[in-house]
Amino acid sequence: MKFLIFSDLDGTFLNSETYSFGALKNYIKKFNFQYELIFVSSKTYDEIINIQKKLNIDFPFIVENGACIFFPVDYFKNKKISTKLDNYKNHLELRLTVFDAVKFYKQISFLKEKYKFSFYMDLPNKKITELTNLKSDSVKLSKLRKFSNPILWEDSYQKKSNFIEEVKSLYNYYSISEGGRFLHISDRFDKGLAINKLLDFKKEYDLPFMTISLGDSQNDLPMFKLTDFACIIKSKSKLELDNVNKNIYISNMKAPDGWKESLDFIFKKEIKNF
């Protein structure tokens, strides 16, 4: 049995303040079974590549909240797949959105007359560092966005609800989700849809597998619904868990320790004959 581990990054695999993955590199090394650790994040291609290099892993990953799936260039070697993939650097990509960040920017900029908010791409690097604790090199990688332009909300909570409803009424093909720090607006792609597409690939050629998802924010809910097991890593976020996977584990510790705690629980307590 192979395990497909779909994991958010910030606040899940990485500590939300320090961005440390602690001892998880050694923890992963000790896995004595077939697995793929598939990051599903709001982060960019370059950010996730940087993290994979530090961990010495090379698995598929999903960027910018489900906008695109990237596969290692030799991932499908000697396998026939039904979908055409494009080449991007050292990967094959399957783009799941037609979202145009520049067009989107122009479409909703007029709403700044009514609401206070900033586009991620417009924020000074210093401001992003203050908000996220990212180091300067990481900030640069985070701005190399291909498919999205998150929004920093700077107005009241009540006005945020009004803003979300107004954007949805003006452009009914957009969906809005909340991450740990930013609003993410897309043309209805999300983490769940991306995972679904990736699982379609796996069913074409792979051995039987079990799926696990780990996350900490509202925008992780779509992937929780799709996997055999869902792990919610302790955070400040309050998640509405109605109609979510019944096999849920909520960690007692924050990231990165909560990530290990959650998988230990599933491997030792939930999966029979492991």
d(CA 102, CA 99): 9
First to last CA, the chain: 10
Given a cut of 60, whether residue 232 has pLDDT beyond it is: yes
Tell me the pLDDT band of 83, cut-offs 50, 70 and 90: confident
Phi/psi for 95 (5° steps) reads -80, 130
Q: Most distant CA pair in the chain: distance in Å?
A: 60
**When comparing pLDDT for 148 and 238, which is higher?**
148
Tell me the pLDDT band of 209, cut-offs 50, 70 and 90: very high
CATH superfamily placement of domain 2-96+190-270? HAD superfamily/HAD-like (3.40.50.1000)
At 238 the pLDDT is 76
CB 190 within 8 A of CB 224: no
Q: Domain limits of the chain?
A: 2-96+190-270, 101-186
d(CA 236, CA 232): 11
At 129 the pLDDT is 95
Strands (E), the chain: 2-7, 35-39, 61-63, 68-72, 86-88, 91-95, 117-119, 151-153, 175-178, 183-186, 209-215, 229-232, 248-250
The residue type found at 117 is: F
Mean pLDDT of the chain: 92
**Do the bridges between strand 209-215 and strand 229-232 make them parallel or antiparallel, or are there none, so unpaired?**
parallel
What is the third-level CATH fold of 101-186?
Threonyl-tRNA Synthetase; Chain A, domain 2 (3.30.980)
Tell me the pLDDT band of 243, cut-offs 50, 70 and 90: low
pLDDT tens-digit map of 11-37: 999 999 999 999 999 999 999 999 999
Average pLDDT, stretch 77-94?
91
At 101 the pLDDT is 80
Tell me the pLDDT band of 245, cut-offs 50, 70 and 90: low
